[in-house]
Amino acid sequence: MNLTQEDWIAQFESDENGVILDVRTEMEFEEGYIAGAINYDFHQGAAFVADLETLDKSKNYYVYCRSGARSANACAIMNELGFENTYNLLGGIIEWDGDIVEP
C-alpha cells in the first residue's frame, strides 16, 4: 500500500509491530537513513529475496528507497512472499521532511 509521508510516519509511530526497511544500496544508506531502518539492497536480486525470507512475516513493514519506485517493487515482492502488511513511502527519502541519521 502506498502512503504519503504524513500517513506513513503517523501509522508507523502508532504501530507496535512496525519495522522500517530501507531498500537502497549500502552506499546510499551510508549517506543517511531514517532512524531505526534496516537496510536490504533491492538491487541484490536473489540475495535481496533471501534477506527478505529471514524477516518475521507477522510484522508490518514500512519500506522506502530514494524516490519510491524500488520500494514499491519491494513491497510487491514481499506481498508475493506472504508478507501481509507492507507500506511504501511515496516520494522516498528525497521528499522526506523528517530527521535523517547520518552515520
User: Domain residue spans in the chain?
Assistant: 2-95
Domain 2-95 has CATH 3.30.1360.170: no
Q: List the one residue out of 1, 60, 92 whose CA is nearest residue 100.
A: 92
At 77 the pLDDT is 98
Residues 90, 52: Cα–Cα separation, whole Å = 21
Q: What is the mean pLDDT of residues 17-43?
A: 97
Q: Which three cell numbers stand for residue 91?
A: 516520494
Residues 84, 103: Cα–Cα separation, whole Å = 31
* pLDDT beyond 90 at 100: yes
Judge whether 65 counts as a catalytic residue.
yes
Q: Does the global pTM surpass 0.75? A: yes
At 71 the pLDDT is 98
* pLDDT beyond 90 at 55: yes
List the strands of the sheet with 38-39, edge to edge.
2-3, 85-89, 60-64, 18-22, 38-39
Identified catalytic residue from 34, 65, 89, 93: 65
Q: How confident is the model at residue 103 (pLDDT cuts 50, 70, 90)?
A: confident
